[in-house]
Amino acid sequence: MQNLISITVDTQLEKAIIEKINELKAMLPQGLITLTDAEKSVLPKMGDKSLGFVEKCLDAATSNPAVCPSFVDLEESRKDLDMFMFLNRVQRALAQVNGPINDSATLAGSEAYAASLSVYNLSKDAARRGVPGAKSIYADLSNRFPGRSKAVKE
């Protein structure tokens, strides 16, 4: 089994990082919201390709009020666009930190899980072969094995 990640982090560093994250959260503008997956799924999404379209529409509506529906608040729409641009820049900056964190967490978890599966499978084999103490170890691990609901009978 190849070990691709081997990093030790002390509690002081973890505490300092969490404090900095909390400082960052406190700096964010008030009023940011959290959407459910269902709410997100029904919203039209703006990205790099649609950004130019949105800017052109807002410019057209500003310079030609006749093409702006009465229910569209241009000032609010500009504020929304400015907030999108701000948050998009923040997202890109955070992605440079979050990407390696997510990938490293995935790899570290995978390596720990793969090692645990090896222990589990060896305990299972040892229990079948009658190795002393292996049956109780395997029974305990079987109770905790993801997706398993039955205990191993002694």
Q: What is the mean pLDDT of residues 64-90?
A: 96
* Alpha-carbon span 145 to 135, nearest angstrom: 15
Say which DSSP state 124 is in.
Answer: H
Helices of type H across 28-47: 37-42
Q: Would you state the structure tokens that stand for residue 74, as one six-digit string?
A: 């241009």
Angle at 45 between CA 40 and CA 51, to 5 degrees: 155
The model's pLDDT over 97-106, given as tens digits with 9 standing for 90+, comes to: 999 999 999 9
> Considering the entire predicted model, what is its pTM?
0.77
Average pLDDT of the segment spanning 59-72: 96
Coil vs helix vs strand at 3: coil
Angle at 131 between CA 148 and CA 141, to 5 degrees: 20
Q: Average pLDDT of 79-85?
A: 97
Distance of alpha carbon 61 from alpha carbon 74, whole angstroms: 8
